[in-house]
């Protein structure tokens, strides 16, 4: 897609974005009645979206904080772009497949579940995922028990250190994909051979269909006897099994990824 189809967004260039959109309309490059702006729902961008809506633009914003929220975003984009719902349906199916398999195998009690936590870094600090995040959902929906969940802490994440992680005694540590080192280096720094450290791919913890690959990878990590190989496919889904969804997947994925890095994607509805 050519670069002139994108407008970079920051907290200081609201007027430029609005003017660019108005110029597109004047030059017949934008139809306000049918074209759509996808925008990331950061609070600092709310004024921009309001201004654009005031000029009659169709704006769709999102800021999901859960796996199901990502599925909803993908489904909304499929609807707006005129695609079938093959990708959002697949994302839901994988989650349900994992859950049903664990029930069938009798893994239903907390004591039977894999003990895990998620570690991220920002502002030179180490953080643990509590709940209300995509990565916390990875643990839960993959059949694990989040040993870092703590109702007395910030509901999304809270700061930590290596000693606190050791005290939680996780069997698995899911490491943020943006951690500058390797999983092996992190394990060496924590000084324990009793846990498996697994570094996630960067795209898995993002607002795109790759989140399903992340969920499946974590399930395979926790329960290799029950989950392995490629993503499961619903044998009864004639829509998803009747053709190649690669291009649909790529299109939806690009839309979500681009918005996640704070750009405005200029997209036309499918006629």
Note the pLDDT tens digit of each residue in 210-228.
Answer: 999 999 999 999 999 999 9
Under 8 Å between Cβ of 36 and 270: no
Q: Residues 145-178: pLDDT tens digits?
A: 999 999 999 999 999 999 999 999 999 999 999 9
Alpha-carbon distances, residue 253 vs 107, 119, 176, 203, 210 (angstroms): 33, 25, 20, 10, 8
Q: Residues 134-149: pLDDT tens digits?
A: 999 999 999 999 999 9
DSSP 62: E
* In a shared domain, residues 209 and 161: yes
* In a shared domain, residues 211 and 126: yes
* In a shared domain, residues 109 and 210: yes
Alpha-carbon distances, residue 120 vs 31, 57, 86, 159, 185 (angstroms): 42, 37, 32, 9, 15
* In a shared domain, residues 201 and 173: yes
* In a shared domain, residues 50 and 70: yes
Decide if 239 is inside a domain. no
Decide if 228 is inside a domain. no
Decide if 236 is inside a domain. no
Decide if 117 is inside a domain. yes
**CATH code assigned at 113:** 3.40.50.1980
How many domains, in total, are found in the chain?
2
* In a shared domain, residues 194 and 107: yes
CA distance 75 to 81: 10
Decide if 235 is inside a domain. no
CA distance 119 to 135: 9
* In a shared domain, residues 177 and 212: yes
* In a shared domain, residues 76 and 41: yes
Decide if 232 is inside a domain. no
* In a shared domain, residues 118 and 201: yes
Q: Residues 94-107: pLDDT tens digits?
A: 999 999 999 999 99
* In a shared domain, residues 184 and 255: no
* In a shared domain, residues 150 and 188: yes
Decide if 230 is inside a domain. no
> In the structure encoding, which two tokens stand for residue 264, read together?
């405005």
Task: Name the pTM for this structure.
Answer: 0.81
Decide if 229 is inside a domain. no
Residue 124's domain spans which residues?
93-222
* In a shared domain, residues 8 and 104: no
């Amino acid at each position: 897609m050519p670069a002139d189809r994108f407008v970079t967004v920051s907290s200081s260039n609201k007027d430029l974005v609005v003017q660019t959109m108005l110029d597109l309309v004047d030059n017949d490059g934008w139809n306000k009645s049918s074209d759509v702006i996808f925008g990331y729902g950061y609070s600092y961008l709310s004024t921009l979206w309001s201004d654009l809506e005031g000029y009659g633009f169709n704006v769709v914003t999102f800021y999901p904080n859960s796996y199901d929220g990502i599925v909803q975003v993908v489904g909304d984009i499929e609807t707006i772009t005129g695609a079938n719902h093959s990708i959002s349906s697949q994302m839901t199916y994988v989650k349900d497949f994992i859950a049903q398999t664990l029930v069938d195998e009798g893994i239903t009690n907390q004591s039977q579940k894999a003990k895990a936590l998620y570690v991220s870094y920002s502002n030179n600090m180490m953080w643990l995922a509590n709940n209300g995040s995509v990565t916390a959902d990875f643990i839960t929906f993959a059949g694990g028990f989040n040993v870092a969940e703590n109702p007395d802490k910030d509901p999304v994440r809270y700061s930590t250190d290596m000693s606190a992680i050791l005290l939680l005694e996780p069997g698995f540590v899911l490491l943020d994909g943006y951690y500058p080192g390797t999983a092996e280096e992190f394990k060496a720094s924590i000084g324990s051979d009793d846990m498996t450290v697994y570094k996630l791919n960067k795209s898995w913890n993002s607002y795109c269909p790759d989140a399903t690959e992340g969920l499946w990878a974590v399930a395979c990590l926790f329960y290799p006897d029950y989950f392995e190989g490629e993503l499961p496919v619903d044998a009864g889904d004639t829509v998803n099994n009747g053709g190649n969804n690669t291009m649909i997947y790529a299109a939806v994925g690009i839309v979500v990824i681009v918005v996640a890095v704070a750009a405005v994607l200029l997209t036309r509805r499918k006629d």
